[in-house]
């Protein structure tokens, strides 16, 4: 089986499957059929995804910042059902989008409060 698999360019486990298929269906079963892989549970087709992302692509090209929660809400509205955030991240990854730069600070941080805390905090912390 190892030699046959090597000659055919398939895995060793595929050879008995091909033999059984050949015995059942004849020569039409000689070529291996691909049944694995693919987007079986796709919510949108590839072209539909491109059309859906077009407004955000224009915004990104103009230097705008994209927020995943907004894209997620629009996708949920478009599909008529809720979607997880990972669905949006995988959608963006499929189309070659990536996070260019991480956030440098928390949006709710207050530099004045931070400086005040640094001035008034103990030099060392001691447990009770």
12, 35 contact by CB (below 8 A)? no
- Residue with more model confidence, 123 or 52: 52
Q: What is the mean pLDDT of residues 105-116?
A: 87
**Does residue 128 sit within a domain?**
no
Contacts 24+ apart (CB under 8 A), 79-88: 79/43, 79/44, 83/43, 87/43
**Does residue 100 sit within a domain?**
no
Whether residues 23 and 54 share a domain: the answer is: no
Say yes or no to pLDDT of 39 above 90. Answer: no
How buried is 62 (Cβ within 10 angstroms: 0-12 exposed, 13-18 middle, 19+ buried)? Answer: exposed
**Does residue 85 sit within a domain?**
yes
Name the most confidently modeled range: 32-41, 53-62, 75-84: 75-84
- Number of domains the chain contains: 2
- pTM (2 decimals)? 0.53
Say yes or no to pLDDT of 20 above 90. Answer: no
Q: What pLDDT does residue 101 have?
A: 65
Whether residues 52 and 20 share a domain: the answer is: no
Host domain of residue 16: 1-36
Tokens of 89: 């991240």
Q: What angle do CA 59, 62, 66 make, to 5 degrees?
A: 40
């Amino acid at each position: 089986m190892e030699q046959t698999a090597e000659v055919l360019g398939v895995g060793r486990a595929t050879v008995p499957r091909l033999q059984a298929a050949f015995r059942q269906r004849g020569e039409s079963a000689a070529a291996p059929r691909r049944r694995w892989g693919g987007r079986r549970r796709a919510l949108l087709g590839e072209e539909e995804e491109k059309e859906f992302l077009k407004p955000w692509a224009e915004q990104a090209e103009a230097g705008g910042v994209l927020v995943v929660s907004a894209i997620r809400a629009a996708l949920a509205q478009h599909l008529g059902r809720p979607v997880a955030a990972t669905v949006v991240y995988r959608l963006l990854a499929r189309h070659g989008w990536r996070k260019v730069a991480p956030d440098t600070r928390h949006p709710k941080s207050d530099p004045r409060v931070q400086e005040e805390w640094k001035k008034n905090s103990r030099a060392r912390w001691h447990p009770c």
